[in-house]
Amino acid sequence: MHVPVQAIDREIWRDGVASEGTRLIPEETPLALTYNGGTYAVMMGTPQNLEDFAIGFSLDEGVIKSVDDIKSLDVVRLDEGIELRMWLAPEDAARISGRRRHIAGPTGCGLCGVDSIAEAVRPASIVPQGQSFTPQQVMAAMQAIAPLQSINMQTRAVHAAAFWSPSNGIVALREDVGRHNALDKLAGALARSRTNASAGMVLLTSRVSVEMVQKTAAIGAPVLVAVSAPTALAVRTANAAGITLIAIARSDGFEVFTHEGRISARRAQEIIDVVA
C-alpha cells in the first residue's frame, strides 16, 4: 500500500486486561531513486511528498546543483515499492555513474551505501551569515511544529523537519519515518518554492548527527535547531560550516553549541515569559 498511514487491528493488554482496537501506524515503503535509468539508492520511507524527497535527496547528495538540473521527474508506483525516476543532462548523469549507491538502506539511513570514509565525513558547505534570531524566536519556532505534524498526531511515530522564518513562521514542514528523509523532503520543498534559506532556521524533531548538519548546510540555512542532543562530529561539522547549532530545545529553553553570535543576548526571564 502506498498511503502514508494504515489502520491496523490489534489486541491490547493494559493492567492485566485484554481488549481489541484499531491503531493508525505510518507506512514504510521502498523508495528507489533513479537517474537516467540507473538506480542510485533505495531508501525506506513514508510515501508522501515524494517529488520533494527526490529533489531534496538529489541536492543534499550533490547529484545536482539546482532543481533545474532535473529535466523530468516521474513517480512510478509499483507493487513492491515506488520508483522516483529522474532524467538529467547526459554530462550530469555521467558524473554520478561511478558513485551509485547499490546498497538498499534501512529507514532514513543517511549514509547507507557510501563506500569510503572520506565521502561519509565530507566537509559541509559553508553557509552565509544569514539572519540572526532572538531566543524568543527560537522558542516560538519550535513550539509551532507539533500542531502541523498531521501524520505524527495520528501515529506518534514519525519525524519532522521544518523551516521557519521571522516574516512567515513555518514556511514548510515535511514528515517521514526516517529523519534524514524528512530533511531531504524539506530541502526539496524549499528548492521548488525558491525559498531563500539564509533568512530562516531549520527545525528538527530528532537528534543531530553529522549528515543532518551536512544536509542543512546544503540547504544554506544558518541555524539548525533540534529537540535532542547532537553528536560530537555534528558539532565539529557545524562549527566548520558556519552553522549555529542549537539542540536540546525543550519547553524551558535550549543549548547553543556553535556560532552563538546569531542568537541575540536576552535575559533568561524573557525566555521564561515566552513559555509561561
Would you please indicate which residues are annotated as catalytic (active-site) residues?
109
Contacts of 269 (CB under 8 A, 6+ apart): none
Helix then strand then coil, % of the chain, to nearest 5: 35, 35, 35
- In angstroms, the CA 137 to CA 263 distance is 9
Cell numbers linked to 26: 505510518
Query: Following DSSP, what letter does each residue of 55-97 receive, concatenated?
Result: HHHHHHTTS-SSGGGEEEEEEEE-SS-EEEEEEE-HHHHHHHG
The amino acid that residue 58 corresponds to is S
Query: Following DSSP, what letter does each residue of 204-242 receive, concatenated?
Result: ESS-B-HHHHHHHHHHT-SEEEESSPBPHHHHHHHHHHT
Alpha helix segments (H runs only) across the chain: 50-60, 90-96, 117-120, 135-143, 150-155, 179-192, 210-219, 232-241, 268-275
- Beta-carbon-side half-sphere exposure of residue 159 (alpha carbons within 13 Å): 26
Cell numbers linked to 48: 508522501
- In angstroms, the CA 212 to CA 116 distance is 18
How far out from the chain centre does Cα 129 lie?
21
